Structure 1
Amino acid sequence: MMHGELIPLPARFAELKQQIAASVPGFEHRVTQAWGELLKEMKGRTDEIATRKTDVIPQVRFDDLQTLNAEVLENIRRRGCVVIRNVVDEAESQSWKEDLKTIVAENPVIGMPEDQKQFFMLYWTKPQVLARAHPNVLAASKWMNNLYHVKGGAVVDGVDLSTPLSYADRFRIRLPGSQWHVHPPHVDGGSIERWEDESFRQCFIDILNGRWKEHDPYDLGARINARTTLYGKPNQASVFRAFQGWLALSNTSPGEGTLQVFPDVFLSNAYLILRPFFKPIAEAVTDVFSPAFWKFDISDADFPGIYAQGDLFLGPAPNPFTHPHLQLEKTMISVPTVRPGDMVFWHCDLIHAVETEHKGEGDSSVLYIPAVPHTPSNAAYIAKQKESFLQGIPPPDYPFTGSEAGFKGVGTIQDILPFGRTAMGFDVEVAA
């Protein structure tokens, strides 16, 4: 995830802290009280996660999505992640993987690592096009999008949570025995923008007002206009992905190179957003988990977990040193065993990682397919993405890595099932 030399954040970010503090009456008192409350609650929550391990992650069947009770729904919202079983027929999913293997063998494909390619810079293969347009995949995305809402039930022009859009991403066929060190715990969908962009900051305003228990990660209001990329960072999604996700193409269990998550999006959001405003006290207090160990301080530019690299900013990438209360060594939980056709979704704010080791015997393969709702900015992006598809080049959010036009096995318009045409931006008028 992080390559090249990391440098301290620019001095202007101290001013950003002070600007945020000045915007909230009684900020120091409010967030200090909230910080103390949060730290006390985190110990019990993280202990529960560490004890329950994989069992803490919700698992449901695709056929049951419309009949889940309130308790199950609340648990999914709280955890910020879910495994949905049997979204696509197992045999069909496996056939897609076999086709992808053929495609990467027959074409001059760019992938990583260079000496044994397993993560491929391909977006428009026929299996990817078919999967994104599959009616069950779109139905699962629609269901995930509808976990969001606008406070007060207001209707927002151009927003339709029941019209999923297809955001084109890549795929992996990870081989056993491989070591991956590029995806330690991190959060996608914006870096310093969480604090710097005023609209994005509004997503966390209850936390910054000291009312962290009232924070709602599923309030769509501010998300619609939040800018997740201010610096043109490559591979940074400019759209609002309500949930990131993938479709399993293989049997993959914990320990076999699968996804890991910190399964409490409410708790992690509150902690990550407040952490920059507090520093350890270098005195007699030695218990890092005690509120007495920490003091309010907005005098420097440091945003723990955010790293500068040239003119770009990476993170949030929490670790045990910068964010000790998350207890990441024991709370990054591997998702349960998946079979071909299962889907895994995780909230756009959720801390996640990929297991460093793959100790299994077979490949660990997934198609990355997030849940993306129809919003004005998302629809505008999909219109541009459609043109990328027609040209066979990478989508707008991704660096140019060559054209797929002329590749054997590339998808065509004819491969987009009727259910997927709107999701791909066809037959849709986009407001200017």
Structure 2
Amino acid sequence: MSVELGPCPPRFVELKKQIAASYPDFEARVTKAWGEILQELDKTTKEIARLGSQNVPELNFSELGRLSPERVEEIKRKGSVVIRDVVDDAEAREWQAWLREYVTKNPDIEGFPENDKQFFQLYWTKSQIRARGHPNVLEVTKWLNQMYHVKSDEKVEEVDLTTPLTYADRFRIRHPGVQWDAHPPHIDGGSIERWEDDVFRACFDDILSGNWREHDPYDLRNRINARSSLYKRPNQSTVFRTYQGWLALSETAPHEGTLQVFPNVLLSNAYIVLRPFVSPKKGKSADSFDPEDWQFDISYADFPGIYSLGQAFAGPRPNSQSHPHLRLDETMVSVPKVYPGDMVFWHCDVIHAVEKEHAGKEDSIVMYIPAVPYTPANAAYVERQKESFLKGLAPPDFPVTKGEGHCVGVGKVDDIESTVGKRAMGFPIQVA
């Protein structure tokens, strides 16, 4: 059931005033930075549109650890990557067959659309458990976690980027020819929290200070303690995921229901974070790239792209009206064609979407598997998640369902075959 999106509450004017008072010379610095960002976007968006899917870096699993610094920096700058041959093709296809069998044998499972289920509220199939615990999958997520660092010299306590954890999520079996409007351009992992939570906001200090080019999307210092779910909304991740991701179980090409990304995490962060503090001057168009057409303005409550859901908030959901300078109709590029066993990942701040159309001839099948590092908060979540698994219930971040304990073929602990997989799921490891 869809929930109506409403405007931001009037109290958010006070939030803007509070933020403005927290940074020296806020008005002048924001005004200058906004003009620079508009001019940079005017150039960069044209280049993104020209390159299309070529914007998204590609590499093979066998290349991990052997990439040049330049290629690593490209992946970090784009904020997205396709990694080939993470899992053997035959094994990935077997997992696909098991998923199909699972949904066939358990017709009462929850998913949408209700009359033709394709996105499933399922977490504990044998396929998902095998995939999350696969050593290659966890090796990839460990490699991605280590793209993060502490920008300053201070030590971040009890964080281990070399110990990957597991975050249970769902899967989809998308049919050809079905219009898909459920996932327009958006950013996960925090809505108004990006501004309202002091620690989360500190992740964007350089942007809010006007030094937007110095912003480092890979700085761990505040990320690990940022509160991404102040309003306890279901489907709002409380875990710090360095990258979101999925594992392909079928071939999926552009125009076949695949992922789309805006491939510049620094620029999109800078633009989205500062957008609530400016407005077009009277008589000027909101899609003008001319800095002279804009003014500093904190008199309105709206945080463009953030929407009220009653007691909680959705977004950021940028669109051509709220964030016209992103040119999303041209710059949301589809990832290159993938094959069974390939994985796709995108930085936690990357704007992403699912293609509305699937013009292919076969089902597009993926399992959602993000990269999650060891932090105290993440480890605490994994403990709660483990209890949900043992009971066959939905994980803590997700809507309550009737669970899978009754399902034919539900996954078991023994389906976590590797030691690293057991550790990632919070199970103790016996040392001989």
> Which range, TM-score by smaller chain?
over 0.9
Q: For residue 312 of structure 1, report the CA deviation from its aligned partner.
A: 1.2
Residue matched to 1:295: 295
Residue matched to 2:144: 144
Residue matched to 2:92: 93
Residue matched to 1:4: 3
Letter paired with 1:3: S
1:203–1:404 Cα change, 3 Å:
same
Pairing 1:117-266 to 2, within 5 Å after superposition? 117-266=117-266
Task: Tell me if structure 2 keeps the 8 A contact 1:285–1:292.
Answer: no
1:244–1:286 Cα change, 3 Å:
closer
Q: For residue 158 of structure 1, report the CA deviation from its aligned partner.
A: 1.6
1:185–1:145 Cα change, 3 Å:
same
Q: For residue 149 of structure 1, report the CA deviation from its aligned partner.
A: 0.4
Residue matched to 1:80: 79
Tell me the distance in 1 between the aligned counterparts of 2:196 and 2:118.
Answer: 35
Task: Tell me if structure 2 keeps the 8 A contact 1:287–1:293.
Answer: no
Q: For residue 3 of structure 1, report the CA deviation from its aligned partner.
A: 3.0
Tell me the distance in 2 between the aligned counterparts of 1:283 and 1:412.
Answer: 63
Tell me the distance in 2 between the aligned counterparts of 1:248 and 1:237.
Answer: 22
Task: Tell me if structure 1 keeps the 8 A contact 2:286–2:324.
Answer: no
Letter paired with 1:251: E
Q: For residue 286 of structure 1, report the CA deviation from its aligned partner.
A: 8.4
Tell me the distance in 1 between the aligned counterparts of 2:45 and 2:182.
Answer: 25
Q: For residue 9 of structure 1, report the CA deviation from its aligned partner.
A: 1.2
Residue matched to 1:306: 306
Letter paired with 2:152: G
2:330 maps to 1:340 = no
Tell me the distance in 2 between the aligned counterparts of 1:408 and 1:286.
Answer: 54
Tell me the distance in 1 between the aligned counterparts of 2:274 and 2:396.
Answer: 33
Q: For residue 282 of structure 1, report the CA deviation from its aligned partner.
A: 2.1
Q: Deviations over 1:173-230 (max 9, x none)?
A: 1010111101100000000000000000010000000000000000000001100000
1:307–1:91 Cα change, 3 Å:
same
TM-score scaled by length of structure 2: 0.97
Residue matched to 1:413: 413
Tell me the distance in 1 between the aligned counterparts of 2:117 and 2:129.
Answer: 21
Tell me the distance in 2 between the aligned counterparts of 1:284 and 1:177.
Answer: 41
Q: For residue 111 of structure 1, report the CA deviation from its aligned partner.
A: 1.1
1:178–1:381 Cα change, 3 Å:
same
Tell me the distance in 1 between the aligned counterparts of 2:397 and 2:6.
Answer: 25
TM-score scaled by length of structure 1: 0.97
5+ long unaligned stretches in structure 1: none
Residue matched to 1:274: 274
Q: For residue 293 of structure 1, report the CA deviation from its aligned partner.
A: 1.5
Tell me the distance in 2 between the aligned counterparts of 1:371 and 1:410.
Answer: 24
Secondary structure of the structure 2 residue equivalent to 1:151:
coil
Letter paired with 1:19: Q
Secondary structure of the structure 2 residue equivalent to 1:422:
helix
Q: Deviations over 1:5-43 (max 9, x none)?
A: 322211111001010100111000011111111111111
Q: Deviations over 1:342-378 (max 9, x none)?
A: 0000001000000001000001000000000000000
Tell me the distance in 1 between the aligned counterparts of 2:309 and 2:172.
Answer: 26
5+ long unaligned stretches in structure 2: none
Secondary structure of the structure 2 residue equivalent to 1:402:
coil
Which one is further off, 413-422 or 341-350? 413-422
Letter paired with 2:397: D
1:80–1:286 Cα change, 3 Å:
closer
Tell me the distance in 2 between the aligned counterparts of 1:408 and 1:240.
Answer: 32
Identical positions, percent: 60
Which one is further off, 206-215 or 301-310? 301-310
Q: Deviations over 1:145-180 (max 9, x none)?
A: 001001135432220001000000000010101111
1:223–1:428 Cα change, 3 Å:
farther
Q: Deviations over 1:231-271 (max 9, x none)?
A: 01111110001100000000000000000000000000000
1:284–1:128 Cα change, 3 Å:
closer
Secondary structure of the structure 1 residue equivalent to 2:163:
strand
